[in-house]
Amino acid sequence: MNELLILVIALVAICLFVVIGERVRLKHWGKRPVPMFVPRHWRGILEEKMPMFLRLPLDLQEELLERVLMFVEDKDFEACGGLDRVTEEMQVVIAGYAQVLQLNKSRQFYARLRSILVYPDTFAVDDDDVGLEDDLRIGESWGTGSVVLSWRAVENIGRDEDELNGKNVAIHEFAHQIDQEFSDADGAPILDAGVSYREWAKVLRSNFEDLQKAIANGEKNDLDEYGAEDAAEFFSVVTEAFYEDSVGLRERRPELYSVLCRFYKMDPAQWGR
């Protein structure tokens, strides 16, 4: 009888251990079981495939690896357009760019984001309903909780010499997600104590109008012209420049750079080159 009792107690204890352990893990990491530690080879993937990673100070590299693990486990990655599967390398690199924007911040930016759709190359967007021909894209961000990316375009970030300095399609689309967190994309993300809405509106609007004026006058300008489309595109374009052309943006548009430093709690012009 005593032996039976001990056996029952032991079984109950094991069940409790498993259930409580799983609860703690799920609460901490999101909806699926995850590796407890960042796999060692992920650092090698980021060093090789994400040029920006090597510019980060060591402590931010470590923080990024932890955040990449959380992102990969929390979000769904879907292969599209004939892609066999979204490989581990693809997931780690895409998560790397998403989580660069999240570094140094306690508030989670991507609560609404559920899935990342990955195409092997450019993808067509059906514009038939507005009478336009299919448009080829390398990235999109949907307010319904998805980001769409061309893997070829992500792989080329920082490597394509024909591209204007300061471009990064992954950062562009994840910046839209931040903008779309609680509303439609309008270039006005949720701000915290670092920047007032009044300052944000004033500085972004004046820089946006500068860009529009420069384009209208046929003048050379320092930002991707796509940013002149509307306030949402401007926010994504200046976020790209903030991370990919930090020193240039700080020199040319110090007021805008300062506002972005306080918003992203980061000063990327101080990182390595």
Binding site for Zn ion (CB under 5 A): 233, 236
Q: What angle do CA 18, 23, 27 make, to 5 degrees?
A: 150
Query: For Zn ion, which is the closer residue by CB, 92 or 116?
Result: 116
> What's the closest the beta carbon of residue 238 comes to Zn ion, in angstroms?
12
| Residue closest to 71 by CA, chosen among 114, 127, 16 | 114
Query: For Zn ion, which is the closer residue by CB, 236 or 239?
Result: 236
> What's the closest the beta carbon of residue 155 comes to Zn ion, in angstroms?
19
**Hey, what are 235's tokens?**
């926010």
Integer Cα distance of 173 and 179 in angstroms: 10
| Bridging pattern class, strands 135-137 and 139-142 | unpaired
Integer Cα distance of 236 and 228 in angstroms: 11
Q: Which residue has the tokens 């471009």?
A: 167
Query: For Zn ion, which is the closer residue by CB, 45 or 177?
Result: 177
Integer Cα distance of 199 and 72 in angstroms: 35
> What's the closest the beta carbon of residue 251 comes to Zn ion, in angstroms?
25
Query: For Zn ion, which is the closer residue by CB, 38 or 223?
Result: 223
> What's the closest the beta carbon of residue 176 comes to Zn ion, in angstroms?
6
Query: For Zn ion, which is the closer residue by CB, 74 or 233?
Result: 233
> What's the closest the beta carbon of residue 233 comes to Zn ion, in angstroms?
5
| Bridging pattern class, strands 115-119 and 135-137 | unpaired
Query: For Zn ion, which is the closer residue by CB, 181 or 199?
Result: 181
**Hey, what are 171's tokens?**
């950062």
**Coil/strand/helix, residue 123:** strand
Integer Cα distance of 224 and 166 in angstroms: 8
Integer Cα distance of 69 and 116 in angstroms: 15
